[in-house]
Structure 1
Amino acid sequence: MAASQTFKAHKFVSEQDSEFYSVLRKRVRRYFEEGNISTFGDRRMYIKTAFMLAIYLVPFGFIVSGTITSPWLYLATYVFMGFGMAGMGLSVMHDAIHGAYSKHKWVNQLLGNAMNLIGGNSDVWRMQHNVLHHTYTNVLGMDDDINTPPILRFSPHEKWMKAHKYQYLYVWFFYGISTFTRVTLRDPVQVFWYWNNGLIKSKKEFAKIMANLIFWKIFHFTYLLVLPIYFNSFSPWLTLGAYFLMHVVAGSIMSMIFQTAHVMPDLDHKKAREDRIIEENWAVHEMKTTSNYAPNNKMLTWYVGGLNFQVEHHLFANICHIHYPKIAPIVVQTAKEYNIKYHSQPSLAEAVKAHARGLYELGNNPNKR
């Protein structure tokens, strides 16, 4: 049995600026070849992976040890796990699912399971992020990252509601519950949506993805809820609250890191068309819809897996993030030569402020295009 319908892929059609990406790729390739540098991760990634696993799993070890006697310390331990959860997703899983962590496919597949470990689903993420978001960035109807609940308006092509006037104030609540809703609701809903829209090609593939999803969800809730409740004398409600708080931390971090790169006042937005044509060169489209921030903040770059270099990531998603700071000057110079704007904010704080301003404009200007 085939999928309900064939996926309606859109095509980027434009002769203008087509030379830009060809030249850029040659220059980036030359950087790696002349320095005899692998495009994949190295010992820096291995050390980071061990660290991120530690700040996620060590607190968990204390939780199930039953030795924590203070409810406040119990909550704080889950909060610490929230930072580890975000770090695992941003710095390990993300590169692995892009196939950029290692030249060995099995290593990428193994570490891609970090998404399943923290409660998500690697198959859903691959379709949402790698296929839709990276191909059709800020294209309403195609980019699932701007496919929001009706109370949020992330695209000027989205229908406007009066409530949107205040979205710059209440959006942070939705960011806080984003990973929780993904783990509990969004993943299975997306599997059915991708099946109905042709991203999942066959009944066999659908069944395999669903079986994988169910197994990992059961595993996730067992080790993060059932075991802590069993090994501790605290009220189960405290454990449920601590688990939710962990997601608030992780969801807030991950949402701000991803959304400040695309939902910004000076970035372009498009809408899916009936003829499935996007009149733009793909690489130029990515330059117009993506922004960097805090490029000189080494600690932030380390923790968020180089995702403050979103421009470089979108143009070279198959290159490990540890290389983005080095190839960024090549992208800047090439963009300048071809008169293509390179978007970047000086700090994360400035990026968050600009993001809030963009949400305000989208909420208070129904005719913004």
Structure 2
Amino acid sequence: MIKKMNNPTINKPVFKKAGNDDFLRTLQKEVNEQVLANKSLQQLIVFKSLSLIVLYFLFYSCILIFGNQTPLLFAFYVLTGFTMILVFLNGFHDAAHGAIFKKRKHNNWFTYILELFGSSNFIWKKRHLLLHHPYPNMQNWDIDIKQSDLVRLFPGSTWLNIHRYQHIYMWFLYFFYSLNWIFVRDFKDIFGTRDNYLKRVVTIPKYEAAKLVAVKLFNIFYMIIVPMLVLAQPWYMVLYAFLVMHLSASAFGVMALLSTHVNEDSVFPMSPADGKMDITWSMYQITVTQDFSTESKLANFLFGGFNHHVAHHLFPTVAHTYYPAITPIIRKYAKNYNLPYQAFSLYKALRSHYTLLKNNAQEENLFVTGEL
């Protein structure tokens, strides 16, 4: 077994117990009665997620069938990468939360699609379900925010000289997001010992490390080696197309990931020394999460509910096809209860992320880190 790290100086955060006046109680009641009764939206997520997997294999097949024509080689690699992100945002993510199928085992089976993409559903689910969702934006806990020392998103993170230019170079590095995930981040999660958030909360079986290597080799085999063997293309042209696939897929996926938690108005709390939070779980979730482009049907389809991110954090086990109907109810409660609900256009969310990068490029912290 790969042992989890124990850090006695960091206590697990515990949120304040919700009282009878907590908005989530009545919000959940209204959502259950007015939205979740519509079973057609549950059927829609099943159809959508399975259809996107079929589309992924269709585009991959087109690489092998039409790839001898160089423009089509690149076009179908890009479409395969684009569909990979669609499957992740619209299917895998919901299944990881148990939100697609009625039976837990069927959702678990679906999450193995991540292995097809060269990653580990075990590692991702532990990262996301045990660290990001309970403690979004919380320094020393939210592993999805703390990605690399190259970028300073947490205002309390160590400042490096290179951060002076992060608002410039990060927009180039974001194109390598999926490549970094597959070939760097997964290995850091399993084998890394410095500042490893994941090992605070989970013990990683050794077979998961072996499986991780195996699935990455398999991904390289069918995405690179097989096209090289089948097509009458130079090996380097196939490799170029594979790289372009990941660059374009990253550009698409990062738009959703950057627009929900990390902008100039985001709060990045530090947990108290004793771990006792002076805020309820539901109030915390709505405080540190933002929506974007919620009125756009195209955004709803492409981003799989990531644009309705407040609804997702308050109702994580509900399929994203319900979120467009849940968000207006959340807005109503935000107005009635004076809740800090935030929503932006996609453009404004990305522009605001640039501002956060620029402000956090300075050694002096410009953001409030502990006040909620």
Normalising by structure 2, we get a TM-score of: 0.89
8 Å contact kept, 2:63–2:72: no
Map residues 136-147 of structure 1 onto 2, 5 A cutoff.
136-147=135-146
1:307-365 per-position Cα deviation (integer Å, ceiling 9, x unaligned) = 100000011110000000111121111222221121000x2122211221222222247
**Residue 2 and residue 303 in structure 1: after superposition, are their counterparts in 2 closer, same or farther (change >3 A)?**
closer
Check whether the contact 1:40–1:319 (CA below 8 A) recurs between aligned residues: no
Amino acid at match of 1:49: S
Q: 1:6 to 1:151 in 2, by over 3 A?
A: closer
Taking the TM superposition and a 5 Å limit, the aligned residue runs for 1:106-125 are 106-125=105-124
Looking at structure 2, the residues matched to 48 and 110 of structure 1 have their Cα atoms a distance apart, in angstroms, of 16
Distance change >3 Å, CA 365–CA 293, structure 1 → 2: farther
CA distance in 2, matches of 1:306, 1:60: 26
- Equivalent pair of 1:119/1:183 in contact (CA under 8 Å): yes
- How far the C-alpha of 1:39 sits from its partner, in A, is 9.7
- Is the alpha carbon distance of 1:17 and 1:233 closer, same or farther for their aligned partners in structure 2, counting shifts above 3 Å? farther
Structure 1 residues 41 and 212, CA, compared in 2 at 3 Å: closer, same or farther?
A: farther
1:312 maps onto 2:315 in alignment:
no
Greater shift after overlay, 358-367 or 169-178? 358-367
Q: Secondary structure at the match of 1:12?
A: strand
Q: Is the 8 A contact 1:177 1:251 kept in 2?
A: yes
**1:197 alignment counterpart:** 199
Aligned partner (choices 19, 23, 35) of residue 22 of structure 2 = 19
1:164-205, Cα deviation, whole Å (9 max, x unpaired):
23222221222211111111121122123569824333xxx5
> 1:164 and 1:39 mapped to 2: Cα distance?
48
TM-score (norm 1): 0.90
Instruction: Please say if residues 98 and 107 of structure 2, whose CA atoms lie closer than 8 Å, have aligned partners that are also in contact.
Output: yes
Structure 2 partner of 1:355: 353
Shift in alpha-carbon separation, 1:357–1:129, aligned structure 2, 3 A: same
Distance 2:46 2:98 in 1: 15
Partners of 1:39 and 1:323 within 8 A in 2 = no
Q: Match for residue 370 of structure 2? A: none
| Inter-CA distance 261–2: structure 2 relative to 1 (3 Å threshold) | closer
Tell me the SS of whatever aligns to 2:236.
helix
**Once the 2 structures are TM-superposed, how far is the Cα of residue 252 of structure 1 from its aligned partner?**
1.8
User: What SS does the aligned partner of 2:306 have?
Assistant: coil
- CA distance 1:249–1:283, shift in 2 (3 Å): same
Q: Distance in 2 between matches of 1:18 and 1:264?
A: 30
Task: Tell me which residue corresponds to 1:28.
Answer: 31
What stretches of structure 2 of length at least 5 have no aligned partner?
368-372
2:288 matched residue in structure 1: 289
C-alpha separation between the residues in 2 aligned to 1:76 and 1:122? 28
8 Å Cα contact 2:42-2:321 kept in structure 1: yes
Which residue number corresponds to residue 340 of structure 2? 341
State whether residues 35 and 326 of structure 2, in contact with CA within 8 Å, keep that contact through their aligned partners in structure 1. Answer: no
Write the mapping of 1:1-369 to structure 2, written as runs, cut at 5 A: 3-5=3-5, 9-13=12-16, 19-32=22-35, 36-38=37-39, 41-42=42-43, 44-65=44-65, 67-193=66-192, 197-201=199-203, 206-345=205-344, 347-364=345-362, 366-369=364-367
SS of the residue corresponding to residue 307 of structure 2 reads: coil
Instruction: Name whichever of 54-63 and 253-262 sits farther off.
Output: 54-63
Sequence identity, in percent? Answer: 26
Cα 1:273–1:239 shift into 2, 3 Å: farther
Q: Aligned partners of 1:365, 1:195: CA distance in 2, in Å? A: 24
CA distance in 1 between partners of 2:218 and 2:89 (Å): 21
Contact 1:39 1:319 in 2 (8 A): no
Q: Which runs of 5+ in 1 are unaligned?
A: none
How much does 1:103 deviate? 0.9
Q: Which amino acid aligns with 1:10?
A: P
Aligned residues: 361
- Aligned residues of 1:40 and 1:101 also touching (Cα < 8 A): no
Q: Output the CA distance in 2 between the equivalents of 1:328 and 1:126.
A: 25
- Paired with 1:54 and 1:349, the residues of 2 have a C-alpha distance of 31
Q: Which sits farther off after the overlay, 12-21 or 149-158?
A: 12-21
112 and 2 in structure 1: CA distance in 2 versus 1, 3 angstrom threshold? closer
